[in-house]
A and B are shown apart, each in its own frame.
Chain A
């Protein structure tokens, strides 16, 4: 049986804007948010382009809430508030509202650690672990540990919105963000909650972000992005025209030599999504690709008979927002399908071999 869970609201934060319709129009028209990185000297990384949305508040150092939430949490908080309000979740008993989030790698607040490292030098000026333990560590802000836990930011959103139901936080790549959407939809469909807030966030682009991409060989193929996306889900009980419904999904694993999943794993995820959604490949008007020019993904899409669907590559325009990317794509799919009703398949993959697919529809 298909999941049949309705999306009652979407919200996103991207470098091309915060309104799904406007962002979709900009994507369709070929606009790009990619620009040189601001905020630190990225020349050592080859000066890659990125899509940035985070603006550090002037009082960031002294803001305890920001200390706990971190930029990733603040971005998710913003879209969560919007989707929670527009989706009418405040009218659902708080114990019956779920919260499912894909959370990317959080910001390591290097400036805090730099102060501690500086305070932990020995007589020769070299870093000393003994000096660090003897007191250097006290230069680390006491709230730093909390900012390292993505689930703490999610818990803070739960406090802000008074959400107390079923929940899950997955990390750290795009497939985790998509699986969070699927887990939310399944929780609602099973009745473990009556409604859910689901989405993802990717944190501030820092030297650490670029380092991780460089170590995984992705820096030249992916323009990183800051951003967040969220949606409100309820069980679908009426046929309101234009309602986006989540019908099914699946995830699979199969590392290829190099980075990312192989075509067989991507095929398994797509087959699972179509099977759970009880739709054929021919019903899909759009495929929201994970990669821009990924031969394995293109082969898998073709093998599933989806070559006739319109291929959408949002990351060419928005950059890769990691765990936030699937929720952003979901919001854009809603706009696209309202103009051309039918199904869309949203794809997301991770660098280690995980991959996931989500089938949505506007009837």
Chain B
């Protein structure tokens, strides 16, 4: 089996689209959650979001339009736009360019796409029923962001087309664990020799009319103080009330060590192991003992032959929901045992919001920065750790900490759990 290393990072987040600048802001305790801008004037029930600012979206659109071919019309879809922007940054970071890459792949987590209620509203008959014939006659008027124009595989396909990637190109659709599963799938592909490198991670945006009521309908949305929307998401805090939706992308270049060395690439970190599990418990809640999360973490450590003693940082899924947070801490303690007392555990969802299918892609970039720079990011908005959440949750600001290995956790509605292990790259292991 080949060793797999990280050679490029690319992000689009509410804290910026430059990995170094966003990382500094995250360490400083800044937050990108705010009142909604794009849909704010219409009074959505979701009053805090981790949104990419409209001027940033415009800039990314202009950037993506350079050299756009037949995919130009698809840039309206935010997921596709963010995936292209993050991929562009990851490739540039890795020193790779567009070309003919038959042994490269793209594996991206993506949300289901946007069902647009405006499309339905245009096709009601006099009695308020959906009129299929009218719908068929108005296809040209369908919203450009509609799931019917922009299905889940579109971001990965557009990235592959733009950069000449000809190996496996797939969309992982396991919601909030999708990016980690895409990273795991990519790691396995590179490790086995199927590919030399893969653009992996995820991209998502549900800041659209139905997306803005998605978690409200499910009762999972955080209560928001309109005077302080940035504090709405409070992972591991006693006062946590739910999650705050965000949007963005996190894409990295995973590459075989041999390939990276042969082209003189800078190696940022190594991917050591990956594990996935299913809760098989309830659709919208984890088991209180966190057994599914525990199994995913345990498999990842075993897969990478990484000892719990080597883990210094856990980038927690930490959604800020009542049930997820304590279950995850229980799982972390079960996996790391006595070492859990010395491990830094933080969630970036208070700062970014929950980037859904992109969440673990951005979190993975944070893990790479943590092992590169020996620093851990904070858990924003954490003031009063909940009972049972008695580990080092890094409140306030980030801090320096030697990090040999980090775990990246992600868990989804539906019960899909995934964990990936990032560790410092050392050339000696290859000898």
Binding site for B on A (CB under 8 A): 40-45, 68, 94-95, 99, 103, 105-106, 108, 110-111, 113-118, 120, 127, 129-130, 132-134, 137, 140-142, 144-146, 148-156, 158-159, 161-173, 175-176, 179, 183, 186, 190, 192, 207-208, 210-212, 214-215, 250-255, 264-265, 268, 272, 350, 352-354, 356
Known: A129-B39, A215-B149. A162 touches B217 (CB 8 A): no
B413 and A146 form a contact (CB under 8 A): yes
- Let me know if B93 is at the binding interface, CB within 8 A: no
Cα distance A140–B102 in the bound complex, in angstroms: 45
Quick one: given A146-B218, A155-B414, A350-B153, are A166 and B276 in contact (CB under 8 Å)? yes
Assess A252 versus B102: contact at CB under 8 Å? Given A171-B152, A265-B166.
yes
Residues of A close to B133: CB separation below 8 A: 41, 43-44
Residues on B lying within 8 angstroms of A by beta carbon are: 39, 42-45, 102, 105-106, 110, 112, 115, 117-118, 120-122, 124, 128-130, 132-137, 139, 142, 147-149, 151-154, 157, 160-161, 165-175, 178, 181, 185, 188, 192, 194, 209-210, 212-219, 276-284, 292, 295, 299, 303, 412-416
* Contact A114:B414 (CB < 8 A) given known A94-B280, A129-B209, A352-B153: no
Residues of A within 8 A of B165 (CB): 253
Contacting pair B209 A140 (CB below 8 A)? no
Q: What are the residues of chain B within 8 A of A151 when measuring CB–CB?
A: 173-175, 178, 412-414, 416
Complex interface: chain A residues within 8 A of B217 (CB): 137, 140-142, 144-145
Chain A positions within 8 Å of B277 at CB level: 95, 164-167
Q: Which residues of A contact B137 (CB under 8 A)?
A: 44
**Do residues B166 and A145 form an inter-chain contact, with CB atoms below 8 A?**
no
The reply to whether A165 and B117 contact each other, CB–CB distance below 8 Å, is no
With contacts defined as CB atoms under 8 Å apart, how many contacts are there between chain A and chain B in the complex?
A: 261
Q: Once the chains bind, are A152 and B413 in contact (CB under 8 Å)?
A: yes
Cβ–Cβ contact B117 & A149, under 8 A? no
Of A40, A111, A149, A161, most B-chain CB atoms within 10 Å: A149
Counting from the closest, the 6 A-B pairs by CB-CB distance are A44-B136, A155-B414, A127-B121, A118-B128, A352-B157, A253-B169
A253 near B132 with CB under 8 A, answer: no
Q: Given A118-B128, A168-B174, A250-B194: A133 and B153 within 8 A (CB)?
A: no
A47 to chain B, nearest CB (A): 10
What is the distance, in angstroms, from B238's C-beta to the closest C-beta of chain A?
27
Interface of B (DSSP majority class): mixed
A156 to B415, CA, bound (A): 9
Task: Tell me which of B130, B135, B157, B413 contacts A255 (CB under 8 A).
Answer: B157
Alpha-carbon distance A303/B269, docked complex (angstroms): 41
A353 with B160, Cβ < 8 A, contacts A158-B278, A168-B276 known: yes
